[in-house]
Amino acid sequence: MEFKKIVVAGGGVLGSQIAYQTAYCGFNVTVWLRSEGSIERSKPKFERWKKIYQDTLESYRDKCGTAYPYYAKGLVPDLKTLTPEKIDELKAQAQKAFDGLVYETDMAKAFADADLIIESVAEDPAQKIEFYKSAAPHIPEKTVLVTNSSTLLPSQFAEFTGRPEKYLALHFANEIWSHNTAEVMGQPATEQTYYDQVAEFAEAISMVPLKLKKEQPGYILNSMLVPFLSAGQALWAKDVADPETIDLTWRLATGAPAGPFQILDVVGLTTAYNIVSMNPAVKDPESVYGKIAAKLKEMIDAGKTGVNAGEGFYKYK
């Protein structure tokens, strides 16, 4: 694997995390966005990630050399070998990553000489197809292309990429610096060489590559997570209980650190809305899916889209 220049297409909740983590691990990173307005909306996310990285690293100062099991493995390889001096180096590394990010709206400039492009545009088939068709003429022959789609199969889009043999899925979990998973999933036309290169890249940015043997909607993680989140949203849509009570029930009964609506705030309500909107039942406003979509749309229209907006189901300011 000789990837050097990485392009992340999209600066949303997860796209911005992927870009920043990749830069933190020493790669040259360009973030492609649709407009100057998109760039300005994305920059506060990168400011937030930088602060989280530096604050998290600082919090480990009294844990240097210990076997403390709970730490952000995407930031620190091993607390046992961590020193105060190394923390200072890593905090400087986080600053360098932030300063080195390149923002671009011109596809030809963004994709020039790219070794890997990570597509992280909206979870909407039409928008992804539009992106691939527009991008294909500007992508160099050598470039490997991956999608970070949460629930859609790469085989749905392979024909539009212009490089089906070099196209597959690489899916990350939210809070990438701490939940350092990277699910690698090919499609029928993916060549093994490029699958292996992508898995190697995942390791190079401090992720654990989770290799799927076949296509699965939702990969491993979201095949389990989406039904859980849907169950919580259904209870809310049917007025069984409010989000706070549903979350409290889950945390108390299972010992989990977060309930479904706390997770949805991290994922982002726009992504949640796009996912539920793909269900045909959403067309019936009296169906559970129709009610969930309507409630989410009301919150999105009010600007309550989750953690990065400062408010979703909970307030963060």
Residue 27 in contact with residue 99, Cβ under 8 Å?
Answer: no
Interatomic CA distance for residues 64 and 84, integer angstroms: 7
Architecture in CATH of 223-309: Orthogonal Bundle (1.10)
Interatomic CA distance for residues 24 and 6, integer angstroms: 12
Distances 310 to 184, 232, 256 between C-alpha atoms, Å:
32, 22, 23
Distances 273 to 35, 151, 279, 305 between C-alpha atoms, Å:
23, 13, 11, 10
Interatomic CA distance for residues 265 and 63, integer angstroms: 30
Long-range (24+ apart) CB contacts under 8 A made by 296-305 are 296/233, 296/269, 296/272, 297/273, 299/269, 300/269, 300/270, 300/273, 304/269, 305/268, 305/269, 305/270
Tokens 């909107």, located at residue: 277
The first and second tokens of residue 276, run together, are 């539920």
Per-residue pLDDT of the chain (317 residues; tens, 9 = 90+): 689 999 999 999 899 999 999 999 999 999 999 999 999 999 999 999 999 999 999 999 999 999 888 899 999 989 999 999 999 999 999 999 999 999 999 999 999 999 999 999 998 999 999 999 999 999 999 999 999 998 899 999 999 999 999 999 999 999 999 999 999 999 999 999 999 999 999 999 999 999 999 999 999 999 999 999 999 999 999 999 999 999 999 999 999 999 999 999 998 999 899 989 988 998 999 999 999 999 999 999 999 999 989 999 999 97
Residue 187 in contact with residue 215, Cβ under 8 Å?
Answer: yes
Q: Name which CATH class applies to 5-211.
A: alpha beta
Closest to 141 (Cα-Cα) out of 192, 194, 200, 195: 194
Interatomic CA distance for residues 266 and 13, integer angstroms: 8
Q: What's this model's pTM, rounded to 2 decimal places?
A: 0.86
Interatomic CA distance for residues 87 and 57, integer angstroms: 6
Alpha helices per DSSP H over the chain: 13-24, 36-59, 84-100, 107-111, 125-135, 158-161, 192-204, 221-237, 243-254, 260-267, 269-277, 288-301
Domain boundaries, the chain: 5-211, 223-309
Residue 182 in contact with residue 156, Cβ under 8 Å?
Answer: no
